[in-house]
Amino acid sequence: RNTGSKNKAIADELAALGAKIVNLDVTDDDSVNSGVAKAIALLGGLDVVVNNAGVGVLGLQEQFTIDDFKRLFDINVFGVQRVNRAILPHFRDQGSGLLVHISSLLGRIALPFYGPYNASKWALEALAENYRVELSGFGVDSCIVEPGGYPTGFMRNLMFPSDNSQNESYGEMVHAPEQMFASFEGALAGNPSQDPQNVADAIAKLISTPAGQRPVRTVVDTMGMGTHIEPYNNQLAQIHQGLFTAFGMEDMLTLKV
C-alpha cells in the first residue's frame, strides 16, 4: 500500500526490476477486492499469494486496549481473511493455487510483552491450517512460514499500548518490555546469519516445491528458537493425522493434484 507516498521508493525499485505493482490495503475490503482483481488482470491469472502484511507490538498486555487489539487483528488476521476471500474463487476455478501465510515462531509459543501479537499469530496459524484442510480437495494449498526475529523495518514499526494508567502498579516491571527488546536487538546484531534473505529463500523454495509435497509449516531461524519449535510442529502433525484418521477424514489432509 501507499505506493505513491511512503512506499514509493520501494515500489519504484521493484517496478524497475520488472514487477507489476498494485496498491492494496489489507484493512480495506474494497482495496483488497480491487487490488486482487487488478493483479489477476495484469498477470493473466495468479498462482501464488503470500500473506506477508503484519505489525508487531511491545508492551504489557493489560495496557493494550480493545481498540489496540482490533487494530492489530485487522491487519494480522482479518487482513489475511480479506485477501484469501478475494483470491480463492480464482484458485478454485483453475483447480490450483498456493496460499503462503507468514506467521512467526511467536505463533507457536507465548513470550511476555508480545501478548497481542502472540494472539494474532496463533489465530493466523489456525486460519491457515483450516484452509489447508478445507481447500485440499480443490487443489489449493495453504502453507505457513514461521520466521524468528529478523532485522527488518518490522522492528521499527511496533505498536505500543494506548493505556498506561496502570504503570505504577507494575513497579519496576514496567521497564521490562523495553529492556527485553534491547536485549533482543543486541542478540540480532551479534548474529549476522539471521539474514532476512533466509525468509525470502524459504518462501521461494516453498513455491517451487511440487504441489502435494509442500510441508504445512516451514521454520526459518538461526538463533536457536527454531530448533525447539520444529519437534513441536512434527508432533502436532502426527496428532493431526491421528485425529483425522480416527474421524475418517484423513483424505482431507492430502492435496488433490
Same domain, 154 and 28: no
Q: Read off the pLDDT band of 59 (50, 70, 90).
A: very high
Enter the DSSP assignment of 251. Answer: G
Rounded Cα distance, 229 and 249, in Å: 26
Q: What CA–CA distance (Å, rounded) separates 110 from 239?
A: 21
For the record, the C-alpha cell of 129 comes out as: 491450517
On whether the CB atoms of residues 96 and 47 are closer than 8 A, the answer is: yes
Shared domain for 85 and 36, answered yes or no, is no
Whether residue 125 sits in one domain with residue 52: yes
Taking CA atoms, 165 is separated from 70, 170, 177, 224, 242, in Å, by 20, 10, 16, 36, 48
Phi, psi of 49 (to 5 degrees): -125, 125
Statement to judge: residues 37 and 53 lie in one domain: no
How much is the pTM? 0.95
Instruction: Name the region of 139 (left: φ>0; alpha: ψ -120 to 50; beta: rest).
Output: left
Q: Which of 28, 122, 119 is nearest to 66 (CA)?
A: 119
Q: Which domain holds residue 246?
A: 46-253
- pLDDT-derived band at 9, boundaries 50, 70, 90: very high
The answer on 18 and 64 residing in a single domain is no
- pLDDT, mean of residues 17-33: 96
136 and 27 fall within a common domain: no
Known catalytic residues are: 117
**Domain identity same for 73 and 128:** yes
- Helix, strand, or coil (residue 142): strand
In a shared domain, residues 139 and 29: no
- Average pLDDT of the chain is 96
CATH of the domain at 124: 3.40.50.720
- Arithmetic mean of pLDDT, 208-234: 96
